[in-house]
Amino acid sequence: KIELDTAGTSGQIHCGNYLFSCRIESLAGPFHRSNLVTIAPRFILKNVLHIPITVLPIYGSLNDAMRKTSQMRQALSEHDRRATFRLQVGESTILYNFTEVAFAKGFEKIHRWVAFSVDAQRQGNKFQSKWHLVPVDKMGSTYFGEYDGFNDTMCGIVEAKVHSSDAARVVSLTHATVPPFRIENRSNNHHIQLVQDIDDGIVFELPPMFSCSYTWDSPLGTKKLRAVVIPHSRGNGCVQNEEEGSFKDFINDISDLDGSI
């Protein structure tokens, strides 16, 4: 239902499984007694990356959305394959329909998300595609670390920017020009291994007198780093499994939390 007499307002229209935005404005001049009702797409997704992406719009709680992307990283079900679509370089698309991923009805707040995966080449079954979650109900930028398919090391940072354009909300995926963090190892003879304090965080190694750009493996997870220092003789400059190092209880909190979902 739309209140046509309430000028200066905007909202959403649900037509079955489809979602639109609606805006009501007062006209001027000879039409000053009339209100203009504009119905437009609610969500638009733009791929400004240099590589295609696979997309699945979903809605559910934060825990449900994270659980879904974790499952999709292991394998895509037949239903997921039918619901996903590919967005080529420079393409845009309107998001009308969001797939429900609620596993249990509870008291958690429901949000809309864009789950996407960069279609990079992977070497073998060991390196699974990483699915990122963009909260489209929240304005601002979210950063994601993208890993190569050979050493599973961070090779780039993707910025997902959510902004308004008239009555629509636009999600733009671009390469981050300024990383949210930069980590330096100023030691002369020790390698440092770092991993986000989450279950499926990826360990990366920083050689002596090196620095690198960094963002969280999971920006919606615990924003803390676990670190271990290893001797120069054991460092090899590439990713190692957590079992090969001894990650202590030492935890550095470099949270950039600016509000929770």
Name which of 168, 149, 169, 147 is nearest 160 in CA terms: 169
Q: How many residues does the chain have?
A: 261
List, in sequence order, every residue forming a beta bridge with 59; answer none if it has no partner.
100, 112
Query: Can you tell me the mean pLDDT for 22-38?
Result: 80
- The predicted pLDDT at position 245 comes to 41
Helix or strand or coil: residue 69?
helix
Type of residue found at 101? V
pLDDT, tens digit, 9 for 90 and up, residues 92-113: 999 988 888 876 666 778 888 9
Residue with tokens 């979602």: 19
Per-residue pLDDT reduced to its tens digit, 111-135:
889 999 988 766 555 556 788 999 9
Tokens read off for 129: 């595609």
DSSP conformational letter for 73: H
The lowest-confidence range among 14-23, 64-73, 80-89, 135-144 is 14-23
Residues near 117 by beta carbon (within 8 Å), at least 6 away in sequence: 53, 54, 72, 129, 130, 131, 132
**Can you tell me the mean pLDDT for 37-49?**
87
What average pLDDT is seen over the chain?
78
Q: Are 43 and 168 in contact (CB under 8 A)?
A: yes
Pick the range with the lowest mean pLDDT from 13-22, 79-88, 200-209, 238-247. Answer: 238-247
The string of pLDDT tens digits covering residues 133-145 is 999 988 999 998 8
